[in-house]
A = this chain, B = another copy of it.
Amino acid sequence: MRDVYEKIDGGVAAPEGFRAAGVSCGIKTNARLDLAVIASDVPASAAAVFTTNLAQAAPVLVSRENFRRSAGRMRAVVVNSGCANACTGIDGMQHAQEMVDLTAKTLSVEPSAVLVASTGVIGVKLPMENIGRGIGDAVRALSRDGGPAAARAIMTTDPFPKEVAVEVHSDAGTFRVGGIAKGSGMIEPLMATMLAFVTLDAAVEPPLLQRALKAACDETFNAISVDGECSTNDCVFALASGVAGVTLKEADYPVLVDALRQVCEPLAIGIVRGGEGATKLITIRVVGAQSNDEARRTARAIANSPLVKTAIHGGDPNWGRLVAVMGRSGSAFLLARAAVRIGPVELFSNGTPFDDRSPDAAVYLKGTDVQLEVDLGTGGSGTSHMWTCDLTAEYVKINAEYRT
């Protein structure tokens, strides 16, 4: 049987066995939602991908430790937005641990079965009185309908919440996968990026879940870039409740990765689409590389090129800037065999520009979804893709005024 993926409502609480809530406890202004709890009714298998940044925030350090101690069996995730609890020293570590302890106590579970995450301004201490009140409120509010509120409660500068859920009909049985994510600055994943929480109601042993999560992240969250930054707080957690009565084993690895990807890819694209100041989603495809790694390196260089991102913003089919990035990206490159396509329009190939096609490309660039395909010209079979967004004056404005 061919696997069927059906979009469903409910986000992170769509899979059976999960409840979620998002509340406002006053970390952010204007009564915006700023604290979320996701709870599993039973001990869930867990997997996690953490930031590779060496300046790791307190919640990352505490979650890593709990993850290790609980052998991948988790009951809950507690998350706040508005304050990253990063670079906050000993106090920050205590605060992250208190978030865990309070959540565990309120839910009557072991503290080591709780993961914690924070996002927002770096270097500011958590207002623990607000956090305490928020955790109490959130645990009381936990429900199967709480996914959308949880998605909102983890937002910082995101212009819209990101949540996805699918029902998977596979040979192994029918199960559900849901997830929420937040961006939207400091987005360039190396292993992990931003915050994302994925739930599923199939039963999966932690090592298999970890392997599948890593594989799904590589092609989704690790293939996006808003600004080439990598944050101190990035993590992706996956929890599998097993409540659906379906068990995924080694033989089901492909469907597990696909199922996770069905949720992670739209969340990842949502982060880029909601990137700070973004007006266009740019999909970059690199072909003709000596290896997939070289293709990814060039894709990443294009995704982070301010000159490419501003040209796309201005609707300018400036293929010369793409060639310049290809040449400096560090990957093998043969100008005389290289090609650049903007949407359906080939503007450069075999060393020759086709500038008479520029007007067609300019019309194409008026859209909000832009595909760029470049061929490095080496004749190799290496390919890769990345998603990014345009660079706009609004990005500068948001980040020049973030704390003021």
Chain A contact patch, size range: 35 or more
The 0/1 profile, CB within 8 Å of B marked 1, for residues 297-318 of chain A is 0000000111100110111101
Contact of A320 among B52, B87, B304, B316 (CB under 8 A): B87
Q: How far is the CB of A390 from chain B (nearest CB, A)?
A: 8
A186 touches B230 (CB 8 A): no
> Known contacts being A351-B89, A355-B123, A396-B391, is A324 close to B231, with CB within 8 Å?
yes
A391 — which chain B residues lie within 8 A by C-beta? 306, 396
A221 close to B (CB within 8 Å): no
In the complex the two chains form, is A318's CB within 8 Å of B403's CB? yes
Interface residues of A in 359-384 (CB under 8 A from B): none
Q: With A228-B306, A232-B324, A395-B306 in contact, is A402–B55 under 8 Å at CB? A: no
Query: Could you tell me if B53 and A324 are in contact, using CB atoms closer than 8 angstroms?
Result: yes
Q: Which of B53, B89, B227, B353 contacts A88 (CB 8 A)?
A: B353
Q: Is the CB of A122 within 8 A of B311?
A: no
> Taking CB as reference atom, which chain B residue is nearest A338?
B55
Q: How far is the CA of A305 from the CA of B338 in the complex (A)?
A: 29
Asked if A108 lies at the interface with its beta carbon under 8 angstroms from chain B, I say: no
| Interface check A130, CB cutoff 8 A | no
* Cβ-based interface call for A387 (8 A): no
The residues of B that contact A306 with a CB separation of less than 8 Å are 227-229, 306, 391, 395, 399
In whole angstroms, what is the CA distance A210 to B119 when docked? 51
- Give which listed residue, B55, B314, B323, contacts A335 with CB less than 8 A: B55
Give every chain B residue within 8 A of A314 (Cβ-Cβ).
Answer: 399-402, 404
Report the minimum CB–CB distance from A71 to chain B (whole Å). Answer: 28
A134 to B348, CA, bound (A): 30
Question: A329-355, CB under 8 A of B: which get 1 and which 0?
Answer: 000010100100000000010011101
Q: How far is the CA of A89 from the CA of B19 in the complex (A)?
A: 62
A54 interfacial by beta-carbon distance below 8 Å: yes
- Among A172-190, those with CB < 8 Å from B are 185-186, 190
Do B228 and A402 touch across chains, with their CB atoms under 8 A apart? no
Q: Which of A76-109 contact B (CB under 8 A)?
A: 84, 86-89
Query: Is A319 positioned at the interface, with any CB of B under 8 Å from its CB?
Result: yes
CA distance A401 to B318 in the complex (A): 10
Query: Is there an interface contact between A53 and B401, defined as CB atoms closer than 8 Å?
Result: no
Q: Contact check, B400 vs A323: say whether CB atoms are below 8 A apart.
A: no
Contact between chains at A402 and B328 (CB < 8 Å)? no
- Chain B nearest CB, measured from A398 CB (Å): 8
| A147–chain B nearest beta-carbon distance, Å | 30
16 CB < 8 A contacts A-B: A52-B328, A54-B328, A55-B323, A56-B327, A86-B323, A123-B355, A186-B324, A229-B305, A232-B323, A306-B391, A307-B399, A313-B396, A314-B402, A315-B404, A316-B401, A393-B396
B-binding residues in A (CB < 8 A)? 52-56, 84, 86-89, 121-124, 185-186, 190, 227-232, 304-307, 310-311, 313-316, 318-321, 323-328, 333, 335, 338, 348, 351-353, 355, 391-393, 395-404
Contacts A55-B323, A55-B328 aside, 15 further interface pairs with beta carbons under 8 A come to: A52-B328, A55-B333, A55-B335, A87-B323, A87-B353, A122-B318, A123-B353, A123-B355, A190-B328, A230-B328, A310-B395, A314-B400, A314-B401, A318-B402, A391-B396
